[in-house]
Structure 1
Amino acid sequence: MNEAETTGKHRVARLSAGQQYLRSHLPMTVVSALIVIAIAFVAWDRWRRGALIFGSAALVAAAFRLCLPTVQVGLLAVRGKPFDVAALAAVGSAIMFLALTLDVS
């Protein structure tokens, strides 16, 4: 092999490692961004919207955990896949249900 072929192969390997890093942190970044948006709404006294966004963040986390392999979900993998999906879906659904049904006058 000549030097150009070797350099090209190393460059591909570095891109693959960078893409792997991004793939493994993207789900947690998306969920974290939704949580920050929810906190901002609650801070601006829009608690219902904030709660709906927070509940949707939990449901998005459940969807990521269900659809992606454990290597790609990063910190969203806490226990086994069935437990994580069930717990996140239950918490997200409960938060959204409460946000939609509570009537604060």
Structure 2
Amino acid sequence: MVSLAVVVAGMIAGLVLVAIGQWRLGCLVVGAFLAVGGLERLLLPTAKAGLLRVRSRFFDVIILIGMGAAIIALSILVPQN
């Protein structure tokens, strides 16, 4: 439960940064915490119940880390005006 709270708090912090106009930093924070969520899914023990039983751990890790890396790459590569 704590690991979910860490990821959610980081995502909220990133979205707040985007909302106040720091879009590049906010996107970096969102991407980083998506990757953190993927690493937590990889390292933490398997869930006994809930929605995590439906998907495989491999799928979750690949999607979360892949999306985190993509958001980080796009936030770095998009030119500033």
Under a length normalisation based on structure 2, what TM-score does the superposition of the two structures give? Answer: 0.90
Answer 1 or 2: which has greater helix percent: 1
1:36 aligns with 2:12: yes
Report the aligned-residue RMSD.
Answer: 1.7
Q: Gapped runs of 5+ residues in structure 2?
A: none
1:47 aligns with 2:46: no
Determine the C-alpha separation between the residues in 2 that align with 1:79 and 1:71.
Answer: 11
Q: Which consecutive segments of 4 or more residues in structure 1 shift more than 2 A?
A: none
Residue 70 (structure 1) shift:
1.9
Residue 104 (structure 1) shift:
2.4
Q: 1:66 aligns with which of 37, 42, 65?
A: 42
What SS does the aligned partner of 1:45 have? coil
* Cα distance per residue 1:41-70 (max 9 Å; x no partner): 001100000000000010000000000012
Under a length normalisation based on structure 1, what TM-score does the superposition of the two structures give? Answer: 0.70
Percent identical across equivalent pairs?
A: 35
Determine the C-alpha separation between the residues in 1 that align with 2:40 and 2:78.
Answer: 28
Q: Gapped runs of 5+ residues in structure 1?
A: 1-24
Decide which structure has the larger Cα Rg and report it.
Answer: 1
Number of positions where the alignment pairs a residue of Structure 1 with one of Structure 2: 79
Higher relative contact order at CA 8 Å, sep ≥6: structure 1 or structure 2?
2
What SS does the aligned partner of 2:80 have? coil
